[in-house]
Copies of this chain bind each other. A is one copy, B any other.
Amino acid sequence: MEFEKLLAHRTRHMSRSAIREILKVASQPGMLSLAGGIPAPASFPLELIGDLSRQVIHKYADQAFQYGLTEGFMPLRQALATHLVARDIHVPGETILITSGSQGVLDAIGKILISPGDTVGLESPTYLGALQAFAPYEPSYTAIDCDEDGVIPDALERVLAEGRAKFIYLVPTFQNPSGRTLPLDRRRAIATLIERYNALLIEDDPYCDLRYEGQPLPPIKSLAPEHVVYVGTLSKVFAPGLRIGYCLAPEPIRNWLVLVKQGVDLHTSTFNQALAAEYLEGGHLQQHLPHILKLYRPRQKAMLEALERYLPADFQWSRPEGGMFVWVEGPEGVNMDDIYQAAVRRQVAFVPGHFFFAQPGDGLGTMRLNFTMPSSDEIDRAIQILGEVIRESSLPQVSHESGSPEWQQNASRAGIEVL
């Protein structure tokens, strides 16, 4: 039968993610990949999860396998409330909503807030998964100007003063893709602006525990609690395959999010929530986190050193104190799609940065590099080759066209590709 005629209007807005082919190429044998966006398998506490499974079955028995409250498993919500005190967030567990990864919050936010044509203000570049979550609700986007410290408060104020944005979406700490972190003074300025303009901010904070140096910064949620939906996850510090995210939202928003979640998946896996509760309650996160940091810290250092060593002087990059990504910007005229093609021929993969911009044609001279999956040696080798490829791509030959090559048109299928 002809199914196309059955599709809803909104469905044409669900674009197929274009980086699928890149991640397919990146996973070919022999490829040195800086393209991924996922935790190293060695960061998962496998043996511990086995122990926790036994504990959960013993402690909660059938309760861990029965239907549960849409809001989440209360022991996990209480454990998270305790966990969040270190981030200067002080809330009772009853106000925390457990979600199926943080992706679930983004979809639900889009569903309750975005009417077709509504404007969302966001960083440029921004997290691809957020664009994909919002897309079915047919938003327009307003890009807020950023520099190497993230969103510029004056630029945010211009967007807020216009009054068009339904809400603002930011990843303030070790942002995906840019690795950038908003310094404290900007967090304060943004909190003040959000309050002054009576606006709503979605603060997506998946990476804050992955800090390899420097001091933790308070989330904007702690500075303007009534105006921020705070979105967190255990995917980077426990195991992403368990799909445990959470959010803290002001009261009426929270009630609508619960209602949406009930229609989407009833609730998040009770067993996995109980595992996460045991992980937090038992102090295992504090014990295990240093192992994860010890795994990633030298890789991040290796990447920053290699960029210094091998990249031309007119290239710039972020120097994040944590997270999973470094963001590279070439000089005027560089087209990273061309660099990508040349790099892949030399068995090195990355993600050209333009994928992370809401406006087509933006970010052609940028790239996202991941340092959590490859080893330090692999990182050094990959960046060395990247430096050679960049030098060989003499500027006069570089195409400046912004059209999408064929490999961007392919259908998206793998969840990992938006990460």
Contacts and interface: CB of A to CB of B under 8 A. Distances in A.
Interface in A95-152: 100-101, 103-104, 106-107, 111-115, 118, 129, 132-133, 135-137
A16 B416 CA distance: 34
A6 B269 contact: no
Interface string A1-28: 1111011111100101100000000000
A70 B258 CA distance: 23
B416 A1 contact: no
Chain A contact residues, majority secondary structure = helix
Contacts of A253: 3
A419 B16 CA distance: 33
Given A62-B41, A133-B263, A412-B259, A166 B268 contact: no
A272 B253 CA distance: 30
Contacts of A217: none
Interface in A255-284: 255-256, 258-272
A414 interface: yes
A415 B267 contact: yes
A136 B115 CA distance: 11
A44 B63 CA distance: 10
A291 to B, nearest CB: 14
A1 B413 contact: no
A8 B8 CA distance: 17
Interface residues of A, number: 94
Interface stretch (A239-247, A310-318, A379-387): A239-247
A50 interface: yes
Contacts of A223: none
Nearest to A264: B107
B103 A266 contact: yes
A1 B256 CA distance: 15
A416 B68 contact: yes
A56 to B, nearest CB: 9
Contacts of A237: none
Interface in A49-102: 49-50, 53-54, 57, 61-71, 100-101
Nearest to A106: B263
Contacts of A70: 413-415
Copies in the complex: 2
A114 B103 CA distance: 22
Contact of A415 (B67, B106, B413): B67
A38 interface: yes
A398 interface: no
Contacts of A268: 100, 243
A46 interface: yes
A94 to B, nearest CB: 11
A199 B6 CA distance: 10
Interface in A152-176: 166-167
Contacts of A264: 100, 103-104, 107, 133, 264
A227 interface: yes
A361 interface: no
Which has the most chain B C-beta neighbours within 10 Å: A66, A166, A241?
A241
A402 to B, nearest CB: 24
B132 A262 contact: yes
Contacts of A166: 6
Given A7-B112, A267-B415, 9 more contacts: A1-B199, A38-B67, A46-B65, A68-B241, A69-B416, A71-B413, A133-B264, A241-B269, A255-B411
15 contacts: A1-B250, A11-B112, A14-B263, A41-B62, A41-B63, A67-B419, A69-B415, A100-B100, A101-B265, A101-B266, A241-B269, A255-B413, A258-B413, A264-B264, A269-B272
